[in-house]
Structure 1
Amino acid sequence: MFYRKIIPTDDGSSTIFIPEWNESYHSRHGAIQEAYHVFIKNGLDLIQHENEVSILEIGFGTGLNSLITLCESIRRNLKINYSGIEKYPVLKDEFSILNYPKSLKEFNAELNFSENELIQFYNELMKADWEKEISISPEFNLTKIQADFLDYEFTENQFDLIYFDAFGARVQPELWTEILFEKLFKSLKSGGVLTTYSAKGSVRRALIAVGFQVEKTPGPPGKREMLVARK
C-alpha cells in the first residue's frame, strides 16, 4: 500500500491522505461533516425499518462512518448489524492519532457520550477482530471483512443500506462500474438504499444501468451534489 499521512480537515477532524494519489479518505472540507451528511442524513435517516437495520460499508477505512453510526444506533435505540469491507486496513499507529472522538464531541453537542466513551467505542471498532461478528454494544454488531470489493461474493437481499465510500473514480475507476454496482444491487433488500458522495455522470449512469432509481441531492460542504440510489 502507498505511503499515508494524517492531515487536518476544515471542520477540525483529521483524515488520511495518500500523496501519490493526491487523494484523502474523507473530504478535506470536513471529514465529520461529510460523514453525517452523506451517510446519516442521506442514508440512515431514509431507511424504513421496524427495529433493526443491516448496513454494508464499502471502504471501512478510518472507521469514522462506523463510529458515527454506532453512536446513532445507541441514541435511537436501533439495532444495527454493520459490515465493513476493506482491502488495506488502517494501522494502529494511524488510527491511534486520528482525532475523531474529540472532534465528534465538539461537532455534535447533542451526543450524550463523554469523550472517554467515544475513545472506547472507537478503539473497540478499530481493534475488533476481522472476519468475526463482534458485539460493540447491545445495539450494534460489527463484522469487518478484509477483501477486495470486486472479488467478494455478497449475499443477496441482505442489506437495507450501503455506504459506498470507496476512493474516487479518478484514482480507482474500476470500483465505480456496473460490475460492482450490480453485485451491490443484488445484495440490497427491496427498498434498500445506496448512498455515496459522488455525483459523476458516469457513476449515475452505471447505477441506473443495473436497476437503481437514482436521485441527485445537495452534497456536503465543498460538494454541490451527491447521489442516493434506491432498489
Structure 2
Amino acid sequence: MYSLVTTKDGSNTLYSKEYKQHYHNIDDGAVFETLSKHVIPAFTFHKQKDQVNILDICFGLGYNTLGTIYYIKNNNINSKINIYSPELDKKLIKSLENFIYPKEFDILVPIIKQLCKNLYYKDEQIEIRLYIGDAKNYLKNLDIKFDIIYQDAFSSDVNYELWTKEYFQLLYNLSKEDTIITTYSIATPVRLSMYEAGFKIYEYIPLKRKQTLAFISYQNILGKYVDMKLKKINNPKAKALYDR
C-alpha cells in the first residue's frame, strides 16, 4: 500500500498507492514542510499560552505531532500541550515503530513507540490521543475547543470529504475566537469552503510556497487577508466544496 520516499531535506515520507499521493511534498522535505507550514506559524501566532489544544488532521506518519514536540523542546516553550489526532489507517500507525524518522526525532522514539502500542502518550507536559476511524465522525463527538488545527489531509482530489463546507463547519464549532488553522492548500474551492463555514482567510508565505491560514476573527500577525467575498464577485464560477 505504501512505498518509502526520501524527500529533499533528507527526511523520509511515504507514497500512498491507495490515494496516489505522497504524505509530504518531496521537493520541500517532510521536516521542512511540517515546521514551516504548520508548527512555526501556529506557535508564532500563539505565544506564551499556558495550555495549547491541537487538532492534527490526519495523523498519518505523525510528523506534525512529532514536529510540534521537537519545536517546543528546542525553543523552551513550557505550555501544556494536548494533541488530538484522528487517523483512518490503524495498520499505518502500528507500522510507525519501524519507520525511519529523521535524526531530529531521535529523542522522540519513546513517544513514537507508545503511540504505536497504545494510541496514547502522556508526560508532565504533553498528552497525545490518537483515534482510529472516520475523522468527521470523530469531530462530531468531540467536546473541546482547539487553539491550533493542522489541516493536513490528502488533497481534495482524493480526500474530498475533509475539505467541504460542512467539514469546516465542524472545525468552526471546535474553534476558539483565536484559533489558527494551517493548511498547505491554496485552492479557491477549499478557501471558499472555509470562508462559507465562517472563517477569515489569509495567504501566508513561510519560506517557499504560498499556503492558507484561517481564523474566526480578523488578525494582523500572520499573512495577508484574502477578501473571499470579492473573490466570488470577480470569479462567479468558483464554488465551494459541499458534502455529496
Question: What is the TM-score with the length of structure 2 in the denominator?
Answer: 0.79
Structure 2 Cα separation of the partners of residues 101 and 126 of structure 1: 17
* 2:125 pairs with 1:139: yes
Could you tell me which residue of structure 2 aligns to residue 124 of structure 1? 114
Q: Based on CA coordinates, which of the two structures has the bigger radius of gyration?
A: 2
Aligned identity (percent) is: 28
Could you tell me which residue of structure 1 aligns to residue 5 of structure 2? 7
Number of positions where the alignment pairs a residue of Structure 1 with one of Structure 2:
211
Residue identity matched to 2:72: S
Distance 1:230 1:60, change over 3 A: same
Could you tell me which residue of structure 2 aligns to residue 51 of structure 1? 50
Structure 2 Cα separation of the partners of residues 148 and 72 of structure 1: 28
Structure 2 Cα separation of the partners of residues 202 and 148 of structure 1: 23
Structure 1 Cα separation of the partners of residues 93 and 55 of structure 2: 21
Are 2:111 and 2:121, in contact at CA under 8 Å, matched by a contact in 1? no
Structure 2 Cα separation of the partners of residues 19 and 219 of structure 1: 30
Residue identity matched to 2:161: E
Are 2:144 and 2:174, in contact at CA under 8 Å, matched by a contact in 1? yes
More deviation, 51-60/141-150: 141-150
Spell out structure 1 runs of 4+ moving beyond 6 A.
none
Could you tell me which residue of structure 2 aligns to residue 81 of structure 1? 82
Question: What is the TM-score with the length of structure 1 in the denominator?
Answer: 0.83
Structure 2 spans left out of the alignment, 5+ residues? 217-244
Residue identity matched to 1:118: L
Q: CA deviation at 1:24?
A: 1.0
Could you tell me which residue of structure 1 aligns to residue 39 of structure 2? 40
Residue identity matched to 2:142: T
Residue identity matched to 1:143: R
1:1-231 mapped onto 2 (5 Å cutoff): 3-29=1-27, 30-48=29-47, 50-74=49-73, 75-89=76-90, 90-92=92-94, 94-102=95-103, 104=104, 115=106, 117-127=107-117, 129-130=118-119, 134-135=121-122, 137-152=123-138, 153-155=140-142, 158-218=145-205, 221=208, 224-231=209-216
Structure 1 spans left out of the alignment, 5+ residues? 106-114
